[in-house]
Amino acid sequence: MSTSGQHQFRYTQTPSKVLHLRNLPWECIEEELVELCKPFGKIVNTRCNVGANHNQAFVEFADLNQAINMATYFASSSEPAQVRGKTVYIQYSNRHEVVNNKGPGDVPGNVLLATIEGVEAGDVSIDVIHLVFSAFGFVHKVATFEKAAGFQALIQFSDVETASAARESLDGRSIPRQSLSPFYLWKYLLPDHVSSCNLRISYSAHRDLSIKFQSHRSRDYTNPYLPVNPSAIEGFVQPAVGPDGKIKEPESNVLLASIENMQYAVTVDVLHTVFSAFGTVQKIAIFEKNGGTQALIQYPDISTAAVAKDAIEGHCIYDGGYCKLHLSYSRHTDLNVKAFSDKSRDYTIPNSTVWQNSQTASMFPGNEFSGGGAGPTWYPNTQAGRPPFVSGPSTFPGQTYSQSSVPAYAAAADFSVMQPGQISGASQPPRQHNMGPGGASHPGQPPYNG
């Protein structure tokens, strides 16, 4: 019988620690709400730009009395609450908490994360990004990178206010095709083939970016003396031209391996074993790209990488044409990888005993081969401090190994092409190992074809 509102005024003033603010300017940002409200108490959450006109907001105080303080203050004040000169009307909200307005990217900070939609990394230069964001204040640092989300940039400002202004102004807008500014050389900011490039801007959790080099991917405008990474300056270094006139890709200490015909899982440990034959492997990362599996393998220097590349290129990890490796030089010079995950390793991290135990446990299940007699001549670069393949809980506890069934790491021992000593015999066809990978890591897989 009754309808809502029958027993109460429509807008009762039941106190709530959430205040409802109206008549805000459309562009009102959270900082302005905070400035207005924080004299009265601790703000635990806000929601701004509410409603079709973006002119309402909610502010939640930690304590009810703080909200009452603010509401009663402005109710009796001769000076109304104002934001940008507009009078703001304040009442208690009919709810008692502000619902989740904020994802991780909505927590204001001085560093912005910009996703540039619809472009490839090469389409928008770091100079253009710098130009666009410099309109709001001094840009300290810029770092760009490619992620699954697309081409992204981190832009570091001095303070939250500047970053917020840039975000409010640029989020959802497109980088203009042309710059009308007479002060910059870039007349055209975008290549012709880019039809649109919307900016999606959120806040980064970073406060201070760590820029190691000035390069086409990263800049530190506060430190002009930061070393330039020559291999990373696009266009500065002409690509080397080989004797055949073809452009050679610039060399790098990091190799990019594409794994073809990957019938069997290729783990970080398998790659480490294979690539360690040529020098210390510092880091490994495995990832999927274009439906295939790729890996980055980092050596300390280019020469080691070059030797490994020439020796391994085109060869298979496993007999039968499985897991064929194609190598090129990566553009990376220093990988940023998790120290220990199923897709990456950082072997440079000292005191790595924590993960070494689990590594040996998962990769070298038996201790049959840890004896001195099985000295790993096939493993010429055993790292100092690295324990032998000690016993550990087996991943395959029920499995026993016969003489002919060899753990996976032994495959490399038979992988004669991997021996550095044979690199000079360039014309020698690779003698692949005689074991299928099922022997160790895939008990159900076809047996080796020895």
CB of 247 to DNA, least distance (A): 49
* CB closer to DNA, 104 vs 300: 104
The number of angstroms, rounded, from the C-alpha of 375 to the middle of its chain's C-alpha atoms is: 39
Nearer to DNA, 88 or 408 (CB): 88
Q: How far apart are CA 439 and CA 446, in angstroms?
A: 8
Contact yes or no for 48/28 (Cβ under 8 A): yes
Identify which of residues 23 and 416 has a Cβ nearer to DNA in the complex: 23
Identity of the residue, 31 or 260, whose beta carbon is nearer to DNA in the bound complex: 31
For tokens 């050679």, name the residue.
Answer: 248
Parallel, antiparallel or unpaired: strands 340-341 and 283-289: unpaired
- For DNA, the closer CB: 11 or 186: 11
Tell the smallest beta-carbon distance from residue 16 to DNA (Å). 8
Name the minimum Å distance from CB 30 to DNA. 13
Q: What burial class does residue 439 get, using C-beta atoms within 10 Å of its C-beta: 0-12 exposed, 13-18 middle, 19+ buried?
A: buried
Q: How far is the CB of 206 from DNA (least distance, A)?
A: 24
Backbone angles phi, psi at 227, to 5 degrees: -60, 145
Contacting positions for DNA (CB under 7 A): 11, 18, 20, 22-23, 47, 50-51, 56, 58, 89, 91-95, 97-101
CB 278 within 8 A of CB 311: yes
- CA–CA dist 337, 25 (Å, integer): 45
Nearer to DNA, 83 or 418 (CB): 83
Structure tokens at 405: 């069934």
Give, in order, the Cα–Cα distances in Å from 384 to each of 188, 247, 352, 387: 54, 39, 12, 8
Task: State the minimum distance, in angstroms, from the CB of residue 169 to DNA.
Answer: 21
- DSSP secondary structure of 214-257: BSSSEEETT-TTSPB-GGGSTTTSPPPB-TTSPBPPPP-SEEEE
Please say which residue, 64 or 209, places its beta carbon nearer to DNA.
64
> Distance between CA 287 and CA 342 in Å, rounded?
10
Closest distance of CB 89 from DNA, Å: 4
CA distance 243 to 335: 31
Residue 61 vs 92, nearer CB to DNA: 92
- Exposed e or buried b for every residue in 378-391, given b needs 16+ CB within 10 A? bbebeeeeeeebee
CB of 150 to DNA, least distance (A): 22
To the nearest 10°, report the CA torsion of 231, 237, 243, 244.
Answer: 100
Least Å distance, CB 45 to DNA, is 8
